Each structure stands twice: as C-alpha cells, then as structure tokens.
Amino acid sequence: VFICLLFLNQSLMASIAAIICMQSTIEDSVSIGFNRLFGTLIGGLLGIIIIYLVSVFKLQDYIIFIAAGSVSLIIYICTIINKPAACVISSIVILGIVIEPSVDNQIPYAIARTIETSLGVIIAVLINRFIKPPEKGNVGIIEKLSKELEITNELHITPSKDDDENK
C-alpha cells in the first residue's frame, strides 16, 4: 500500500487492488493477481463504455441507478465467462469510474483508474514474490485441504449398529 500511495500519486485504486491481491503464498497471489487483473480490465472497459453512454445520452441524473446496474452487469458477465474471482475488483473499478461526477475528461480518467488498479495488482504480486516471500513451511490452501483429505481417508470409520438398524 505504501508503494502504491508513494509512487502512484496517492492512488486509492492501486492500494485497494494491492490489499485484495496479497495472499499467503506466491502461487495464490499470482493466481488471484491474474483474476484481479482480468477483472480490472473488464471493469475498466465496461466503465468506459458506460460513462460514454451516460455522457452521450445525458443520463447524469440517473448515475446512482446506472452505477448499481453496472455492478450487477459486471457480476453477471464475470459469472457467464466463468471468472467469479474477478467480480470484486471489476465491481470496484466500475464504481470508481462511474460514480466520479466531477471529472471533466471521463475517458482519460477511466483509463487512468484502470491502469492504476492494474499496477496495484502487479505491485502486490511482486512484493509477495520478492520482498516478503512466504516461508517454506507456509503451505497454500490447496495443500492444506489435500492434507486434511488424506488424513480423513486414512481414518476407517465403521457404521454403528444403530446406523444398520435405521436403514
């Protein structure tokens, strides 16, 4: 977050993306990072289209409804293309773009927010990889679940007499 705020002109979007992408293992950070980067790009693209349409059709008075509908639409799109992990960041990006009414040049603003968020994702992955890599003993969630399943499979559970009588 410090790096995002310091080097990206106090970017809130990059900081949020960095926080969301930090994970306990580098593998998880990279996997989440790719999903978040994809979500950032799709949220940014849809945000640009929406603010263009709002401007052309002079729909600024309805921006609250448009913003809520935009989030619903982006969640729907992420679900259809089987990228549910991208829903959170794409929703944040689209809201950051659509609900900023004081920006005169909205398209460059939307592009800048999308780039800042992408940089936040990249910074989080690089920090996790090079500056504070996870310790060797720290295993990811998949490895933990696999070990739990192995332990469960090793247990031999036999049905009790009560179970046989209830059948």
The whole-angstrom separation of Cα 51 and Cα 91 is 15
* pLDDT value of residue 156: 47
pLDDT digits (tens, 9 = 90+) for 7-66: 887 688 888 888 878 777 777 777 888 888 899 899 999 999 998 999 899 998 999 999
Whether residue 76 is predicted with pLDDT greater than 90 in this model: the reply is yes
Whether residue 148 is predicted with pLDDT greater than 60 in this model: the reply is no
pLDDT digits (tens, 9 = 90+) for 94-130: 998 898 756 678 788 888 888 888 898 888 888 887 8
Q: Which residues, including other chains, have CB under 8 Å from residue 66's CB and lie 6 or more apart?
A: 50, 54, 59, 98
The whole-angstrom separation of Cα 167 and Cα 136 is 48
